[in-house]
Chain A
């Protein structure tokens, strides 16, 4: 069983829709990261969180440490949000190393 599981694997939405991507993990963590990867491009960090909720523009990330679960929400989705969203966790004692989920491929249609 993977230590970091994301759902769904693929997601197609219409422009303007509210989107949720889920991440569950099975290890104790010091932080959880949400990353964005555009086609053919590099990887950009969106959020790093260890508790509660963070918001940046139309993106919101939440984490429930007790349930070992995090969600990434996109409000008023736009075609430029189309990308792969990756959840990664930093487990305790890992010397800072990240464990990655397989990613969620989001396509937003105009």
Chain B
């Protein structure tokens, strides 16, 4: 059982380049999330999808777009990368609702130079 799978694990981009971070879960979860983790800060929510076909902004959505391709997959796109987007990105999923456990991917370490 793979759980939540993120690709790639590492990426270096030049300022202005674009890329898409992929996330897939095999637990039939309704809700999926993208977070970023920066030194000295807690994880912060970028975007989330409460169910297939819906997406909503989180705390730090600027510079990002998302697509909930189907129930399994939730991708995060950086259209024009900036050094401020250097971070570790985590995808997570849960059944959904107020009282459900969250499952996290292994993270993507992104550096924008």
Contacts and interface: CB of A to CB of B under 8 A. Distances in A.
B102 A30 contact: no
B42 A90 contact: no
Contacts, number: 67
Interface string B33-60: 1000000111111001010000010100
Contacts of B75: none
**Interface magnitude class on chain A:** 20 to 34
Given A95-B50, A95-B56, A42 B43 contact: no
Given A97-B45, A102-B40, A92 B58 contact: no
Nearest to B42: A100
Interface stretch (A44-52, A63-71, A73-81): A44-52
B90 interface: yes
B104 A100 contact: no
Contacts of B94: 96
16 contacts: A42-B90, A42-B105, A42-B107, A43-B92, A44-B104, A45-B102, A45-B104, A88-B42, A90-B99, A95-B31, A95-B50, A96-B96, A97-B48, A98-B45, A98-B102, A100-B42
Interface of A: 2, 4, 30-31, 33, 35, 41-45, 48, 50, 86, 88, 90, 92, 94-103
